[in-house]
Amino acid sequence: MQASAQAQPNIALIKYWGKRDVESNLPAADSLSVTLDTLWTRMSLEFDERLKQDTLDVNGSTAPSMLARVSHCLDLVVGNARAFARVQSSSNFPIGAGLASSASAFAALVVAADQAAGSHLETNALARLAGAASGSAARSLFGGFVELTAGDETIEVREIADSASWPLEVIVAVTAAGPKALGSTDAMIRSARTSPFYSSWLERQAADMEIARQAVQQKDFAKLAAVAEHNCLKMHSVMWGSRPPIVYWNQATIACMETVRALQADGHSVFFTIDAGPQLKAVCLPEDGDYVRAALEQTGGVIRVLQSGLGPGARLLEQV
Ligand code: DP6
C-alpha cells in the first residue's frame, strides 16, 4: 500500500546532546523544542512484494548513504518480515547541514510507513520509533512547543503549548551549504567519552528544562531567551572540550551572534540557538521577525535566510 506524509523540522531550545544507550538511541536527558511550519520534508512510500530491496530517492536522486537508516526505521515500524519499499523524499530546505533534516525526514517516514502498513499506532509510539532512528525526530511528531522526557527504557513526548498559543518566529541564517564534517551521533559519542564537561551538562539539564517549561507557560520571552542561549552555549562548550574538539561554528556563525546581540541591545525580542552545524537560528516575537530577518541577511557570510512560524506535528498527506 502507498502513503505520503509531511513533517517539519524542530529547533531545540533545551538541547538533546548525549545518549543513555547508543544501540537503542535513547537520549541521556530531556529536551524541549519548537516545531516549524514553512520548512518541510515529504515522504512517499510504497511496499511492493516485487522489489528485491528498499530504494530511496531524495530530492530526485538516489541516496544510498541514507538507505540503511531508512530500512532499519521501516523494520522497526512494520517488522522485518515486511515487503521492500520504494521511498521518495523531498525537502524545501538544505539537508545534512545542521538544519534538522533528519528530524523531519524520520518523523514523516514513520507516519507514512504506519499508514502504508495499516498499523495505526498512536502518536507517542510513532515518536518512539522516529526517535530510535534520530533522537530529535521524536519531537517532530508533535507541533508547537514539545517536551521530550527521557526515561531509563523509553521516551515520552508531548506538546506543552500549541503553535497558536505563543506564535514565535524562527529565522534561520544559513552560513554554509555543504554537509557537516561530523554527524551528531558520532559527535555525541565523542563528547560523552572525552569531554570533561559532559557529566555536568547532563546534571544541569533538568533545571534548564524546568525554567524553559515555566517560560513557555508564562509566555515570558526574556526568561526563555536566557535559558535557551545558556543551554546552547553550554552544549557547544561540551563539544569544544571534547578530544579532538568539535567546533561546528564558522566566522559567519559568530557574526550572526553579534547581530543578535546588537538587536537585543536595541530592545528587540530575539535570541539565538545553534545546533550541530554552523547555521544560527534566531527566535523572536512575530513583530520583530522582518527586522531580525533583514539584519541577518545583511550579516557578512550569510548565504541565505529562511523564516518560519511554529507549526503542527507530522501528518498524512492525501498526495505529494
Ligand atoms: C544539536 O537527533 O540528529 O540538534 O539521535 O544521533 O540522530 P541522533 O541525533 P540528532 O541530534 C540532534 C542534536 C541537536 C540538538 C537537538 O535537536 O536537541
Task: State if residue 231 touches ligand 1 by the CB under 6 angstroms criterion.
Answer: no
Task: Reply yes or no on whether the pLDDT at 281 is more than 50.
Answer: yes
User: What values do phi and psi take at 224, rounded to 5?
Assistant: -65, -40
Average pLDDT over residues 115-120: 94
Task: State if residue 31 touches ligand 1 by the CB under 6 angstroms criterion.
Answer: yes
Q: Which atom of ligand 1 is nearest to the CA of 10?
A: 17
Q: Which atom of ligand 1 is nearest to the CA of 15?
A: 18
Task: Reply yes or no on whether the pLDDT at 97 is more than 80.
Answer: no
Question: What's the gap in Å between 184 CA and the centre of ligand 1?
Answer: 6
pLDDT in tens, 4-59: 999 999 999 999 999 999 999 999 999 999 999 999 999 999 999 999 999 999 99
Task: State if residue 276 touches ligand 1 by the CB under 6 angstroms criterion.
Answer: yes
Q: Which atom of ligand 1 is nearest to the CA of 25?
A: 5
Question: Is the separation of the CB atoms in 193 and 244 below 8 Å?
Answer: no
- The residue contributing the CA closest to ligand 1 atom 1 is 275
**Prior bond to 244 cis, omega within 30?**
yes
What confidence score (pLDDT) does residue 96 get?
Answer: 57
Question: What's the gap in Å between 100 CA and the centre of ligand 1?
Answer: 8
Question: Is the separation of the CB atoms in 102 and 138 below 8 Å?
Answer: no
Task: Reply yes or no on whether the pLDDT at 153 is more than 80.
Answer: yes
Q: Which atom of ligand 1 is nearest to the CA of 98?
A: 4
What whole-number distance in Å separates Cα of residue 85 and Cα of residue 47?
A: 4
DSSP per residue over 111-157, as a string?
HHHHHHHT----HHHHHHHHHHH-GGGGGGGS-SEEEEEE-SS-EEE
Question: What's the gap in Å between 43 CA and the centre of ligand 1?
Answer: 20
What confidence score (pLDDT) does residue 98 get?
Answer: 57
Question: Is the separation of the CB atoms in 122 and 158 below 8 Å?
Answer: no
- Angle in degrees, 0-180, between the axes of helices 251-265 and 289-297, rounded to the nearest 10: 140
Q: Which atom of ligand 1 is nearest to the CA of 27?
A: 5
At 320, the pLDDT band (50, 70, 90 cuts) reads: very low
pTM, whole model, 2 decimals? 0.96
User: What values do phi and psi take at 80, rounded to 5?
Assistant: -85, 10
Q: What is the DSSP letter of 310?
A: B
Mean pLDDT of the chain: 95
User: What are 49's three cell numbers?
Assistant: 512484494
Average pLDDT over residues 105-134: 97
Helix (H, G, I), strand (E, B) or coil at 43: strand
Average pLDDT over residues 75-96: 90
Choose between 204 and 320: higher pLDDT.
Answer: 204
Residue type, 120: H
- The residue contributing the CA closest to ligand 1 atom 7 is 134
Task: Reply yes or no on whether the pLDDT at 100 is more than 70.
Answer: no
Nearest in space to 53 (alpha carbons), one of 87, 90, 2, 88 = 87
What confidence score (pLDDT) does residue 273 get?
Answer: 98
Testing ligand 1's pocket by substitution, the residue of 184, 208, 273 carrying the most ligand atoms inside 8 A of its CB is 184
Torsion sign over Cα 90, 98, 147, 132: positive
Q: Give percent above pLDDT 70 in the chain.
A: 98
pLDDT in tens, 210-241: 999 999 999 999 999 999 999 999 999 999 99
Question: What's the gap in Å between 136 CA and the centre of ligand 1?
Answer: 5
Q: What residue ranges in 177-242 does DSSP mark as E strands?
A: none
- The residue contributing the CA closest to ligand 1 atom 14 is 275
How far apart, in Å, are the Cα atoms of 169 and each of 121, 230, 240? 31, 19, 29
Average pLDDT over residues 291-296: 98
Task: State if residue 184 touches ligand 1 by the CB under 6 angstroms criterion.
Answer: yes
Average pLDDT over residues 241-262: 98
